[in-house]
Amino acid sequence: MPFRYTLRQLEYFVAVGKAGSISAASEVLNVSSPSISAAINQLEAEFGLNLFIREHARGLSLTKAGHRILDRTEFVLKEAELLATLAGEITGNVQGILSVGCLVTFAQIVLPGLRRSFEDHYPAVRIEQRELNQADIFSQLRRAELDTALTYDLDIPADLDFLPLLDLPPYVVLNEHHPLAHRDSLAIDDLKGLPMVLLDLPYSSDYFLSFFRAADIKPNVAERTNDMSVMRSMVANGFGFSIANVRPLNNLSPDGKKLLFVPLSGDVRPMKFGLLKAKIENETNTMAAFIKHCKTTVENGNLPFLQNTLAD
């Protein structure tokens, strides 16, 4: 006899499994607790298995069988969403799921707004977002775990396609009491011997240090961090200068201290901000729509923190 259950019941099961309680899943899904409880009971009856251990003090925990069913259920739900994408390709509609990565250094100020405006325009699309470093972006695009990613043109492999959207020149980040804070621009020679807070991410750090190599200067890397917010706070608190290509909308560090962003002059290559994707012959309607949306957003100046020079 075939099993009889719905995708919605499977969604409720996954939500409870991850949240650890029906009430927590109810808040996430915005669905009443009795509806979720009924769906779980129906699934258990259909499978003939206890999916959860009920503990009044601790909520619900997955049984061994529940863990195995959960793993497969997530795969089934993913495949169901891909069916919606396939249907969109056949009908010409923009719909289904789109997995979008974003370089972690600017994800917080770029991706949520782009995602919100795109999903508002195409309500049949659901974007899955991931914040990653450059190496992980390359890896996940190659494994088809991402459809596209917003990133920089840092050491792009030949098997991936980069679509430039915007040129982002480098800035020297200083606190307001730094000896160079009064300058309108700075050259690499001006930074010689001064303590540096390096944003130490794969490929990004090599880009920042390349300015010093080109000038035959050894940088004084006093501190390293892989978090943009931590870097800004360390600079604001006097641990050294840093270099970045993205200016926030305000000049305050996360702990409220003032920062200055001084243009770095000389023969310094800007980073190109853009979209990275695998080389494919035919883009899906959803992918094409997202690419067009990103281009239009940049051209209309709706990413004010990235308003520099439109890429060729």
User: DSSP labels for 30-83?
Assistant: T--HHHHHHHHHHHHHHHTS--EEEETTTEEEE-HHHHHHHHHHHHHHHHHHHH
Q: Are 197 and 76 in a shared domain?
A: no
Domain closes at, from 88, 104, 120: 88
**With bands split at pLDDT 50, 70 and 90, how would you rate the model's confidence at 34?**
confident
For residue 244, what are its two tokens?
Answer: 């970045």
Q: Which domain holds residue 64?
A: 7-88
Work out the percent of the chain whose per-residue pLDDT is above 90.
45
Q: Where are the beta strands (DSSP E) in 138-219?
A: 148-152, 160-168, 171-175, 195-199
**Is residue 50 over pLDDT 80?**
yes
Work out the percent of the chain whose per-residue pLDDT is above 70.
92
List all residues 6 or more positions away from 307 whose beta carbon is below 8 Å from its beta carbon: 301
Reported for 189-196, long-range contacts at CB under 8 A and 24+ positions apart, including other chains, are: 189/215, 189/217, 191/217, 191/219, 191/241, 192/217, 193/220, 194/220, 194/240, 194/241, 195/220, 195/222, 195/223, 195/239, 195/240, 195/241, 196/220, 196/221, 196/222, 196/223, 196/240, 196/241, 196/242, 196/243
CATH number for 116: 3.40.190.10
Q: Are 136 and 281 in a shared domain?
A: yes
> Tens of pLDDT along 204-239?
999 999 999 999 999 999 999 999 999 999 999 999
**Is residue 311 over pLDDT 60?**
no
Indicate whether 208 belongs to any domain.
Answer: yes
**With bands split at pLDDT 50, 70 and 90, how would you rate the model's confidence at 35?**
confident
Indicate whether 63 belongs to any domain.
Answer: yes
Helix or strand (DSSP H, E) at 155: none
Indicate whether 1 belongs to any domain.
Answer: no
pLDDT at 286: 87
pLDDT at 309: 43
pLDDT at 258: 94
pLDDT at 230: 95
**With bands split at pLDDT 50, 70 and 90, how would you rate the model's confidence at 122?**
very high
Q: Are 161 and 216 in a shared domain?
A: no
Lowest mean pLDDT of 22-31, 91-100, 188-197, 202-211, name the range.
Answer: 91-100
**With bands split at pLDDT 50, 70 and 90, how would you rate the model's confidence at 88?**
low
Helix or strand (DSSP H, E) at 224: strand 220-225
What is the number of structural domains in the chain? Answer: 3
Lowest mean pLDDT of 117-131, 180-194, 281-295, name the range.
Answer: 281-295
Look over the chain and give the mean of its residue pLDDT values, rounded to a whole number.
Answer: 87
Q: Are 203 and 220 in a shared domain?
A: yes
**Is residue 131 over pLDDT 50?**
yes
**Is residue 308 over pLDDT 60?**
no
Mean pLDDT to the nearest integer, 115-137 = 92
Mean pLDDT to the nearest integer, 117-122 = 93
Indicate whether 254 belongs to any domain.
Answer: yes
Domain closes at, from 51, 67, 88: 88
**With bands split at pLDDT 50, 70 and 90, how would you rate the model's confidence at 95?**
confident
Q: Are 176 and 259 in a shared domain?
A: yes
**Is residue 188 over pLDDT 90?**
yes
Lowest mean pLDDT of 77-86, 168-177, 178-187, 208-217, name the range.
Answer: 77-86
Q: Are 174 and 252 in a shared domain?
A: yes
Q: Which is more confidently placed, 6 or 102? A: 102
Q: Are 275 and 162 in a shared domain?
A: yes
pLDDT at 305: 61
Q: Which is more confidently placed, 35 or 258? A: 258
Domain closes at, from 88, 120, 148: 88
